[in-house]
Structure 1
Amino acid sequence: MHSMTGFGRGSATADEGTATVEIACVNRKQAEVVIQLPRELNELEARIRRAVLNTISRGRIQVSVQFDRSSGAPAPVSVDLRMVDALEAAFETISRHTGRNVCPEAGDFLRTSGIIRIEESGLAAETVWGAIEHALEVAIEQVLEMRSAEGSDLAKDLSTRLTALEKTAAAIATLAPGRPERYREVLTKRLRDAGLELDLQDERVVREIGIFADRCDISEEITRLDSHFRKFREYMTGEEPAGRPLDFLCQEIHREFNTIGSKASDAAIAQHVVEAKTELEKIREQVQNVE
């Protein structure tokens, strides 16, 4: 089981310079990847996103990529040859018009805007991708290590709290069978207090107790709770991301305890239900951190 929070940083050096990748992950129901890249490397965004989503399935993942050129690496220079030809043609036109030979000099080409361009960084995506990819792998590995470590701590806490829920459910299961007998005693007392002396074997009393016993039967809810608890532990120890399944199970467990509380009509069982809901709320808060 993995947590959704983590941080990783990787760097790699190539002839062109050094790539640095930082990844920060926080909680989120769905997977959201936000990538910050130098403008000239925007074409690499799809590759980076794919690499991240291949290993991280849930959370908000912030990826920051920086590439620092080597101090000795020359900035690339580009020449617009069409403008060069146009400038040459313009001087030829001037020569024909004036009847004398007017030739452009080096300064004319340098002063003409757009003929010679010096790129600010000159980063070529394919050239630097190898270094960025390696730095990205290192950063992802660190993120996974941190998420795994935090996930282990979460698993221990969830296991402890789940054990408490199991004990509460077991206590409720122990109290449940005696509920019809307690109801019979209460019913008998109320009849006596009302001055109605009825035989406990009276068909009306037996039918009333039978209806109550059927209405307050929580054996199905206890069985489903046991099943949910087992499934919860299976997801916690499985290899697949468990956050969404665990969140769903928390909802189902809450529903079963709610039903038990409404059906049992018993103060002792109601107290256990309140305790279970309190513990379950803590579990749900922790589950929100699970990938």
Structure 2
Amino acid sequence: MHSMTGYGRGHSTCAGVKLAVEIQSVNKRQIDLAINLPSALAASEADVRAAVTRRVHRGRLTVSVVADPGAAGPVVKINEPLAHAYLKAFKGLQASLGLTGEVSLDTLVRLPGVIEGANEARVSPALKTALTGAIESALDQLMAMRAKEGAHLQRDLLKRARLVHSILTKVKRLRPQAVARYRSNLRDRIQKLEIHVNMDDERLAKEVAFFAERSDFSEEVTRLESHLDQFQVTCRQPDAIGRTLEFIGQEIGRELNTLSAKANDVEISQLVVQAKAELDKIREQIQNVE
């Protein structure tokens, strides 16, 4: 089990350029990736995205990459071959259209690619490899933190699932007592009303039987126990299980609501309220599970 919150840093150096990568992740149902790259590495965005999504499947992630040119500082480079090509093309167009005028230096230096800084050079294979290494280092730290937090979440979720299971065991034990209490309460009400009815009257027996049938929640308890078993098995799986746990949590909540409606007994209702309170805490924790 992995948490969706985490942080990682990675560093690498290539030809004097120092790369620093930071990755932060927080909760989100789907994967949402924001990548901030220097212009020199903009072409590598798809590679960065692929590297991250290979290892992370849910959450909102922010990847920030900083490139420091080092002691030499930024270097401005003039792409003379490109400038000559632009000028030649302009003169050819001028001759073709029969136009006059001069192409100024100011015009040339504003054209794309004529002036490039160290941070705007093309990504060399070596720089690309260095970036990949820094990304993987940051991901290693991120995943380690998510795994550590996930282990805490797993322990808490399993503990609460076992607690709900123990509450259900108490509910099952109280079921026969609830029917007996209903029969006793019914007798007391009749006696208080001073109605002369034979306590073994068939009508009373039918009323008690009707109550027992109406309040029979054995199927709900069976399904709840099955859902809780499945929940605990899923918690121990290493995959991205957050959505599965959310679904199982919804099913547990639905069965608890039905059980609560059928119970018609104070003690059982109190136990169901306790189970629902634990389920609310479980659902809150699940929101952070990948």
Q: Which residue of 2 aligns with 1:114?
A: 108
Q: Partners of 1:190 and 1:232 in 2: how far apart?
A: 44
CA distance change for structure 1 residues 201 and 27 in 2, over 3 Å: closer, same or farther?
A: same
Q: Which residue of 2 aligns with 1:94?
A: none
User: Contact 1:161 / 1:279 at 8 angstroms: preserved in 2?
Assistant: yes
User: Contact 2:25 / 2:61 at 8 angstroms: preserved in 1?
Assistant: yes
Give deviations 1:203-242, integer Å, cap 9, x for gaps: 2222111111111011111111111111111111002112
User: Contact 1:5 / 1:25 at 8 angstroms: preserved in 2?
Assistant: yes
Counterpart residue identity of residue 65, structure 1? V
Structure 1 residues 22-31 or 252-261, which shifts more?
252-261
CA distance change for structure 1 residues 83 and 29 in 2, over 3 Å: closer, same or farther?
A: closer
Q: Which residue of 1 aligns with 2:123?
A: 125
Structure 1 residues 70-79 or 178-187, which shifts more?
70-79
Alignment of 1:35-114 (within 5 A): 35-72=35-72, 75-79=76-80, 80-85=83-88, 113-114=107-108
CA distance change for structure 1 residues 199 and 35 in 2, over 3 Å: closer, same or farther?
A: same
Q: Which residue of 1 aligns with 2:96?
A: none
SS in 2 for 1:249: helix
2:197 matches 1:198: yes
Counterpart residue identity of residue 131, structure 1? A
Give deviations 1:65-103, integer Å, cap 9, x for gaps: 1222244586543021135548999xxxxxxxxxxxxxx
Q: Partners of 1:275 and 1:123 in 2: how far apart?
A: 63
Q: Which residue of 2 aligns with 1:255?
A: 254
Counterpart residue identity of residue 82, structure 1? A
Q: Where does the alignment leave 5 or more consecutive residues of structure 1 unmatched?
A: 90-108
Q: Partners of 1:166 and 1:140 in 2: how far apart?
A: 37
Q: Which structure has the larger Rg?
A: 1
User: Contact 2:39 / 2:120 at 8 angstroms: preserved in 1?
Assistant: no
Give deviations 1:243-281, integer Å, cap 9, x for gaps: 111122222212222211111111111111111111221
Q: Partners of 2:18 and 2:150 in 1: how far apart?
A: 32
Alignment of 1:231-250 (within 5 A): 231-250=230-249
CA distance change for structure 1 residues 16 and 87 in 2, over 3 Å: closer, same or farther?
A: farther
CA distance change for structure 1 residues 236 and 203 in 2, over 3 Å: closer, same or farther?
A: same
Q: Provide the TM-score with structure 2 as the length reference.
A: 0.86
CA distance change for structure 1 residues 86 and 6 in 2, over 3 Å: closer, same or farther?
A: closer
Q: Structure 1 residue 45: deviation in Å?
A: 1.3
Q: Which residue of 1 aligns with 2:98?
A: none
SS in 2 for 1:114: helix
Counterpart residue identity of residue 46, structure 1? A
Counterpart residue identity of residue 264, structure 1? A
Q: Partners of 2:287 and 2:90 in 1: how far apart?
A: 66
Counterpart residue identity of residue 78, structure 1? N
Q: Structure 1 residue 118: deviation in Å?
A: 3.2
CA distance change for structure 1 residues 74 and 216 in 2, over 3 Å: closer, same or farther?
A: same
Give deviations 1:157-211, integer Å, cap 9, x for gaps: 1222222211111111110122222111111122222222333432222211111
Counterpart residue identity of residue 248, structure 2? L
